[in-house]
Amino acid sequence: MTIITPRHDWTREEIAALYDQPLDALLGQALTVKRENWPDGTVQKSQLLSIKTGGCAEDCGYCSQSAHFETGVAAEKLLPLEDVVAAARRAKENGADRFCMGAAWRSLKDRDLPKVAAMITAVKAEGLETCVTLGMLEEGQAEALKSAGLDYYNHNLDTSREYYGSVITTRTYEDRLETLQRARQAGVKLCTGGILGMGEGRADRVGLIHELSQLSPHPESVPINMLVPIEGTPLGSSAPISVIEMARAIAVCRIVFPKSWVRLSAGREGMTEEGQALCLLAGANSIFVGDRLLTTDNPGIDKDEALLSATGLAAAGHAEMENGPRRTTLIGGDSA
């Protein structure tokens, strides 16, 4: 029987068994879960803006913005408020319902908190759902962000505990979990997922999903990224992961996190239209739009419109989608 409500007692063995199913069985199960929890035929558009680019003190092996690597990305100052608001307005005009702001910091400094809070308040006033990723949080900062109108805090676990040290050495797994806990305690929703294609094995992908499943309540948002290799980073020559493996991970996330957003995030630029459609069929219900994701390319508006047209999906807002299933009427008048 397919479980369609959240559970917090998943074992690694159960998740591995899901992951290893024949693809048709896995996708069928994921689609059943999705249709019981989310409306048919809709996808949310999110847009991401780098509000402070480059010069990060962390050594994340995939990141073009790390000060440890020579990638050609220069350190810049925090964007002015008016530039952020203008970008949010353009995103909304292009159909985005969610606006994410990312800063290349190891952690949020108190001196920058009022400026970021003002950005959140201004973007919220434009009628957009808000998300930020600012590195680690200290005591009291999450509460201030929440007061400014923040909906989601993004802080990815990236990979399994076992493989994490092969990717990052300047911040521990526990550091990441502590920041997630600070956000959760402040009443901010969690956006946390991982990156596939960093040289990890399937067991690590299972480990990541299992780790996320232990959070209670589950993260409201689970982004799944395909590594975009950046020249100059330690992972810049990583072998690409297959789109089928991406679809498997997305399908497992849809089953394990039935009421969470599962976001098809970085890496779409390197996928075919058919590959992206497979990931959407597997259970993703949100995509990132706009020409850039922080410092990497993303499909343009024309390509996104072609994708939605080909799949018959319509962009919809979070409020509509979170209301739950909306059945499609079949030939003969019955409802599916």
pLDDT for residue 147 is more than 70 = yes
pLDDT for residue 242 is more than 80 = yes
pLDDT of 66 = 81
Is 52 domain-assigned? yes
Which of 248, 254, 263, 268 is an active site residue? 263
pLDDT of 57 = 86
Which of 98, 176, 182, 191 is an active site residue? 191
Work out how many domains the chain is built from and give that number. Answer: 1
Interatomic CA distance for residues 152 and 71, integer angstroms: 29
> CB burial class (10 A; 0-12, 13-18, 19+) of residue 179?
buried
Is 37 domain-assigned? yes
Least confident segment among 127-131, 198-202, 211-215, 311-315: 311-315
What's the helix, strand, coil split of the chain in %, to 5? Answer: 40, 15, 45
pLDDT for residue 315 is more than 50 = yes
Residue 253 bears catalytic tag: no
Is 140 domain-assigned? yes
Q: How confident is the model at residue 327 (pLDDT cuts 50, 70, 90)?
A: low
Which of 63, 98, 205, 279 is an active site residue? 63
pLDDT of 253 = 98
Which of 56, 98, 171, 268 is an active site residue? 56
Q: What is the mean pLDDT of residues 93-104?
A: 92
Give the domain extent around 29: 12-310
The letter for the amino acid at 269 is: E
Q: Which residues contact 24 (CB under 8 A, 6 or more apart)?
A: none
pLDDT for residue 24 is more than 60 = yes
Which of 98, 131, 171, 205 is an active site residue? 131
Phi first, then psi, for residue 238 (nearest 5°) are -65, 140
Which of 98, 100, 176, 279 is an active site residue? 100
Q: How confident is the model at residue 298 (pLDDT cuts 50, 70, 90)?
A: low
Is 86 domain-assigned? yes
Is 331 domain-assigned? no
Is 333 domain-assigned? no
Name the one residue in this structure whose structure tokens are 């292009």: 94
Residue 131 bears catalytic tag: yes
pLDDT of 299 = 59
Q: What is the mean pLDDT of residues 80-86?
A: 95
Is 2 domain-assigned? no
> CB burial class (10 A; 0-12, 13-18, 19+) of residue 14?
middle
pLDDT tens digits, one per residue of 110-139:
999 999 999 999 999 999 999 999 999 999
Q: What is the CATH number of the domain that holds 250?
A: 3.20.20.70
Is 156 domain-assigned? yes
> CB burial class (10 A; 0-12, 13-18, 19+) of residue 333?
exposed
Interatomic CA distance for residues 142 and 134, integer angstroms: 11
Residue 279 bears catalytic tag: no
CA-to-CA dists, residue 111 to 102, 132, 141, angstroms: 17, 17, 11
DSSP code of 137? -
pLDDT for residue 237 is more than 50 = yes
